[in-house]
Amino acid sequence: MLKSIPFAYDDELKYEIDLRGLSHSTFKNYRSHLRRISEHFSKDMADISVEDAKEYIHRLKSELNQHPQTINQCRAAFIFFRQNVLGKHIPEFALPRHKFVRQLPDILPMEIIVELLDSLTLDHRAVLSLCYGSGLRISEALALEVADIDSANMKVYVRNGKGQRARYTILSAYSLGCLREYWVTFRPKGPRIFPARRDSSKQKPTQHVQSAFSSAYKKRFPFSNKRITPHTLRHCFATHLLDGGTDLRTIQVLLGHKSIQSTSIYTQLTDFHFSKLVSPLDRGRE
């Protein structure tokens, strides 16, 4: 990958992102896509045309076989940059969204999750136990501060969830035990629970935790074709709550979903509801 053309629009892009109340994660993702486009063509981003963008997006699909969500994110980054940083209008139809079929996430049994967590180092176990025990996204877990843990009421305050929506969720006794052991062992400086090793003002890098969990799963199941990531633990949290009889509305609140439709996907993953259903063919033969 060429790196001769620097991306010179960090400040302008961040300003426009902040102006619209979008997250820092959005800024990082958009900047990453824009840098790759610029490097691919060896051009300044201001000189990338709509036709260039179409060619690049086509390459993502045809040559690199990128996931449709990645392709759509790249498209969104280019449109955002062109319209809001450069002030150049681009019709929506000029770069069509990539269609894709949303697949159901893979789910792990509770016993396997506990086994995987127990196999991890303490720092990674503390983070990932929150993803499963509280239904947090990995970014939410890593962004937690000491004051966000309410051990008296067994609650976790998520201050910067997706869409900048704050919420409370439950705190598991297992996670609390991990956090207390982690705190005694590492004594992190500053308000962050999981600061970066060299700079306590920054959070621990996401990829370190993702890699540790992926390695633990592959070691336990070397021939599995499931796509297991830390986000799988969030899906398992919701599915296993539903299995236990928790209502969908409560799960929606704990996950921080804006719409109940986002939460309803877990009704297709749970065994609880299916076990209670009787096929009309069987009822008709009673």
pLDDT digits (tens, 9 = 90+) for 36-48: 999 999 999 999 9
Structure confidence at residue 113 as a pLDDT band (50, 70, 90): very high
What is the average pLDDT across 243-252? 91
> Which tens digits make up the pLDDT trace of 13-57?
999 999 998 888 889 899 999 999 999 999 999 999 999 999 999
Q: What confidence score (pLDDT) does residue 239 get?
A: 93
Strand partners, 27: none
Count of all residues that appear for the chain in the document: 286
Q: How high is the pLDDT of residue 274?
A: 64
Q: Are 206 and 231 in contact (CB under 8 A)?
A: no
Q: What is the distance, to the nearest Å, from the Cα of residue 196 to the centroid of all Cα atoms in its chain?
A: 19
Catalytic residue ranges: 137, 162, 231, 234, 257, 266
Phi, psi for residue 56 in degrees, rounded to 5: -65, -45
Give the per-residue pLDDT at 167. 94
In this prediction the pTM is 0.76
Cα–Cα distance measured from residue 200 to residue 195, given in angstroms and rounded to the nearest whole number: 5
Quick one: pLDDT at residue 4? 53
pLDDT at 1 over 50: no
Q: How high is the pLDDT of residue 2?
A: 43
Sorted by where each starts, the structural domains of the chain and their CATH numbers stand as: 10-94 (1.10.150.130), 110-274 (1.10.443.10)
Q: Which long-range contacts (CB under 8 A, 24 or more apart) does 44-47 make?
A: 44/5, 44/8, 45/7, 45/8, 45/9, 45/81, 46/9, 46/86
**pLDDT tens digits along 123-136:** 999 999 999 999 99
Q: What percent of the chain shows pLDDT beyond 90?
A: 64
CA 89 vs. chain centroid, Å, equals: 30
